[in-house]
Each structure stands twice: as structure tokens, then as C-alpha cells.
Structure 1
Amino acid sequence: MGEMPETTIPLSVRIELCRAGLQVIADGLGIRMLHIKGATLDARIRPDAREGSDVDVIVDPRRVVEMHRALLAHGWTVYSTFDEGSPFGHAQTYWHPDWGYIDLHRRFPGIGLADATAFDVLARDSSASTAAGLDLVVPELAAQGALFLLNAARGSQGDRDAALAFRRGLAAEQLRSIDQLVSELHAEVAASVVTGELENWHGHRDYRLWRAVSQGGTRTQEWWGRVRAARSPQEAMQVVLRAPRVNRSRLAHQLGRTPTWRDVAMAAVRRGGRALRDLVPGWGTR
């Protein structure tokens, strides 16, 4: 993701304390939050799971603004916004000089159910975990399994192979529980990437986006997929209006400084050129 925190705290300790610190902030505001990925992943899903370099949480979408303000008040800064982070607009990344990176999710890629309703479903039968002696809430086993499959759908081929192996190793009852949850979350299209059945969803509005994400494609194809996957005409229009805009956060990270207007203008020209090459084959050779 970038530079490591300006601290001598070992990574494993930093992640543990960061996770606990987020829980303290959420508890203080009465905000529901689910810890996902990393050390919170049930060993029955992936025995070789390792703690990553950041902390991932899903916050009740109705309280995201409050959590955002609290993070800023406690020394975190925004590294990339919801609109800039991924094609799914699912998470906002924050940076802290001592505790490093966190990904604050308002939704999980692949879930088609409305954000608040999806969170309620994932939190419905939650399980317990701990970090630095503090109680944490994590999704229950079937929900963790469903999220594991959806996360692999936009990962590498190795991630998808691991997820498929996990799926094939499930008992019939466990598989049925996960498939039912995937259906309830309206996440069948993303899950089909792992099982190799994406083409069965050719007419679905999410198909083009997941094909671009999982099989590769041009940025123009990805943006068109995002338009098609929009949940409303208003959301589709917002995607169209964002498409030409330069991702200023990403540009700042590439340059190592705040972009000037000239930097943004040059990036916009390059972005337009790439779009033309995508739309008009052979444009770059003319």
C-alpha cells in the first residue's frame, strides 16, 4: 500500500493494537462493526491465513460518517476515498503514523443487496474474537465463508483456486448454508467467478464488471461495467460523471507530493488518450 508506519512497533503487535483501538472507538460511539480478513478469519476456512499489513472492518453503513469523523479526531488521515479506491466504491483507506493502514468498508464487493440490509444480514449471527484483550465481533462461519469466496473473485487466480478448494472441501450442509447466504446477499454473480460459471450470468447487470475485474480488460470496459452495474439511474449518472476525472489521491501517491494543476491536466490528457485507444483500435499508431 505504501510506506510503513513511522514506528518501531513490530507489525504483528501494531496490527493487534490497531484492531483493538478501532474497536474502542466504535464501542465509544455505539457503532456496530465487523472485523474481517487477517487473523480474524476462521482457521477452518483458511488454515494458512496470515495477518496482513492493514486492518479491515465493515462498519454499519448508517454510521460511516460518524466513524470517519472519529478516525480523523484520533489522528488518522484519508489515504484514498470510497470513489477512488476500487471499481466497487466499497472501502475508504486511512493512514496513521503509529498504527498504519485501515480499510473501512461500507459494503463488500459482489454483494448486490442494499448496503445497510447486507450489513444486518452479515451481523445477524455474529461470532466473537479478541484483540489485545478486547472483545471483537466477526461474521459467523457461513458469512466468513461467503466473504472469502467473494474476496477471491476479484483476486488472483491463486486466490480463486484456494477458494474453490475450500468450497469443494465443505460438507453438504456447510455448502448449502453458504450458498443460501450468497443468494440472500444477491452475490451470485461474483461467486460464479470462483466456480467458473460467470458466463451463466451473461445477461445480468453485474456481468460486464465482474468479467473485466476477473478476466482483465481495458479501463473503458471496466467503467462501462460500472455503469451497467449501477443500482439506479442516478448512480449510473454519477459513475459517468466520475469517469473522466483524474484520481487525485492515486496521482499524489505516484508523484510523492500534492499534484499541481499542471500534473492533473497532464494526467487528464493521458487518461483521455487511453480511453481513445480503448474505443478506437489502432488510434495510438495514427
Structure 2
Amino acid sequence: MPPDPGRASAEADIPTAARVHLAHAVVQHLAETAGADVLHLKGPAIFSGLRDPERTSSDVDVLVRPSHLSALIDAMEAHGWEARTDFETGSPFAHAANWWHPHWGWADVHVSWPGAGLPAEEVFDELAEAGATQLIAHHACPVPDRIGQRLILLLHYARTPRGSDKEWAWDQGTEAEQHAIRALAARLDAEVALAAALDELHLHRDHPDHDLWRHFSQGGDRVSEWRARMTSARGVRARVRLALGMVRVNRGYLAMELGREPTRKDVRQRQRRRIQRAVADLRARR
């Protein structure tokens, strides 16, 4: 998570682990008040045995039913949460946006989970179907079941391949659990992203998402990333939006980096830097 000048105030009074637990409960209470369906992901939402207990979380991750997004955001903003990034620029997958609260810290609100190709509303239904809950700060919070949590961790590992999530979510699973993970990935159209996590991408060479997941799981320069994203994009509108995004500066992240609202000059300088970096990458590929 990018640094924020107000972050210290959220961490000064409450230990990080306690604050994150309480923040999960706060977001769940707001969701219930607003009538919004959410699923809590990662951190204290993970069932015992699925993640290294030494790992800690610094923020709240929730997946909201897309049709309930406005209700949840209205409730959060009415109780002091401030949007710091939007969905369009919050990530390469346009799947999440960041909110900040001076007491509770960060909350990442997801409307989809990268790697799942099924429509987001259907993905939410599939992950919520089991009706599982996890007690966080003495508050029952809806979560995916154990197989759903394993897949969520693996899809996250596919785009940020570091840490021990694969070991805990896959390697330590039984053969039956691994079969169930693959079956769920198939239902969610998430087989290519799962293959990236399991080093099986060679089985999907002809899939339009192959290069995208190779980039995120194995690395590469900005040129390869944008080329892969363009190949993966479905339809002319998506490709046009991507082309515009190549030079668009993420004002939210820039504000967090600078510790203030960026000026036009700041945006122009960052835009120039993005273009220079792209040109350098192109020259390096010759």
C-alpha cells in the first residue's frame, strides 16, 4: 500500500493487528446497515491453516457484490472514510479502490477478483454460496469457504508471486482439496490465472490471457505489460480505454506519494516521466 501522511495517526493509538481486526468489523457493520453483501478476504478473514500465521495484514480487503457497491460506499463515506483511488486507476485490472479512515486505516474495496473471467456478480454468488463466516473482532463476517479462500490466495499469488501463499494454499492441500480448487477455478473461468500460480501457464499458450498472466507472474517491462493487456482486452471499447490509460497519471497514488493534492505541474511531470520510461523500454527491446 502506498504511504499516506495520515497513516501514522491510525497506527499511533492502536496496534496494527488490533486495528485491522476492528476495521473488518466496522466495515461489516456498515455493510449490514446499508444492506450491502460483502465477503472478507485475506488477513484475519483467512481460516486457520491456510496461511503462514506469522504473516500480518495492514489493511481490510472486502469483495462487494457489484450491484451493492454504491450502498456500501455511501455508508463508508458517511462515516468518515475517504476515497484515495478509484476503480479505473486503482489497479491494472480496475478491480479495486482504496479508502482511508483516520482511525481505522486502509480498506481495499474490490468489485471483482483478478483472474476470474466470469461476470463479477456471478463470481460473488459462487464464492458466497457456502455461507461461511469468520469471527473477526467478535463480529461474524461473511467469507468464502476453505476452498474459495485457497483459490483467492492463489489468484493473488499469481499476480504478486512472493511469500508463502502457494505453499500454504496449494502445496499443503490434500489431493481432494487441490481437485476442488481446480473445479472452482473452472467454474469461475479462472484456470489461466491459477495456472500462472502453479507454474502451468504452458498449458494455456493459445489463450488471450496467457501473456498477461505471464507478465504478472514472471515479470517484464512496461511495454510487455501493455502489449499483454491489449491482447487480453475484450472489445474495441476496452482497448480504447486501455490506450488512454497508458499515459494517464493516477492522481490518487500521486497524491499519496506527494502527501498533498498534486498540481497540474506535478501531473505533467509524472506524465512526461511515464512517456520517457515507455520510450526507454522500447529502445531497450531493440
The verdict on a shared fold, with TM-score over 0.5 as the criterion, is: yes
The offset of 1:166, in angstroms, is 4.0
Residue aligned with 1:143, SS? helix
| Change in 2 beyond 3 A, CA 1:49/1:35 | farther
Conserved 8 A contact 2:47-2:134: no
Conserved 8 A contact 2:197-2:217: no
Aligned to 2:19: 14
Aligned to 1:212, which of 201, 210, 215?
A: 215
Aligned to 1:104: 109
1:150 equivalent in alignment to 2:150: no
Residue aligned with 1:103, SS? strand
CA deviation vs aligned residue, 1:151-180 (integer Å, no higher than 9, x gap): 111123434xx4146423322222211110
Distance 1:15 1:157 in 2: 22
Give the alignment of 1:180-195 within 5 angstroms: 180-195=183-198
Aligned to 2:87: 82
The offset of 1:15, in angstroms, is 1.4
The offset of 1:5, in angstroms, is 4.5
Aligned to 1:234: 237
Conserved 8 A contact 1:39-1:50: no
Aligned to 2:273: 270
| Change in 2 beyond 3 A, CA 1:75/1:264 | same
Give the alignment of 1:1-286 within 5 angstroms: 1=1, 2-3=3-4, 4-7=7-10, 8-48=13-53, 50-159=55-164, 162-164=165-167, 166-281=169-284
Distance 2:214 2:285 in 1: 23
Counterpart amino acid of 1:226? R
The offset of 1:261, in angstroms, is 1.2
Distance 2:70 2:280 in 1: 39
Conserved 8 A contact 1:80-1:94: yes
Distance 1:194 1:237 in 2: 29
Conserved 8 A contact 2:45-2:134: yes
The percentage of counterpart residues that share the same residue type is 36
The offset of 1:137, in angstroms, is 0.7
The offset of 1:282, in angstroms, is 7.7
Conserved 8 A contact 1:164-1:194: no
The offset of 1:49, in angstroms, is 5.5
The offset of 1:111, in angstroms, is 0.9
Counterpart amino acid of 2:30? I
Residue aligned with 1:85, SS? coil
The offset of 1:89, in angstroms, is 1.3
| Change in 2 beyond 3 A, CA 1:280/1:48 | same
Structure 2 residue runs without a partner (length 5+) = none
Counterpart amino acid of 1:261? R
Distance 1:165 1:242 in 2: 36
Residue aligned with 1:178, SS? helix
**Looking at both structures, which has the greater relative contact order when contacts are Cα pairs under 8 Å and sequence separation is at least 6?**
2
Conserved 8 A contact 2:93-2:114: yes
| Change in 2 beyond 3 A, CA 1:165/1:136 | closer
Distance 2:127 2:180 in 1: 13
CA deviation vs aligned residue, 1:253-280 (integer Å, no higher than 9, x gap): 2222221111111222111111222223
The offset of 1:196, in angstroms, is 1.1
| Change in 2 beyond 3 A, CA 1:130/1:177 | same
Distance 1:131 1:20 in 2: 6
The offset of 1:58, in angstroms, is 0.4
Counterpart amino acid of 1:218? D
Q: CA RMSD in A?
A: 1.9
Distance 1:132 1:282 in 2: 51
Residue aligned with 1:55, SS? strand
Distance 2:76 2:17 in 1: 21
TM superposition outliers: structure 1 runs of 4+ over 6 Å = none
Deviates more, 1:112-121 or 1:262-271: 262-271
Instruction: State the TM-score, normalized to the length of structure 1.
Output: 0.91
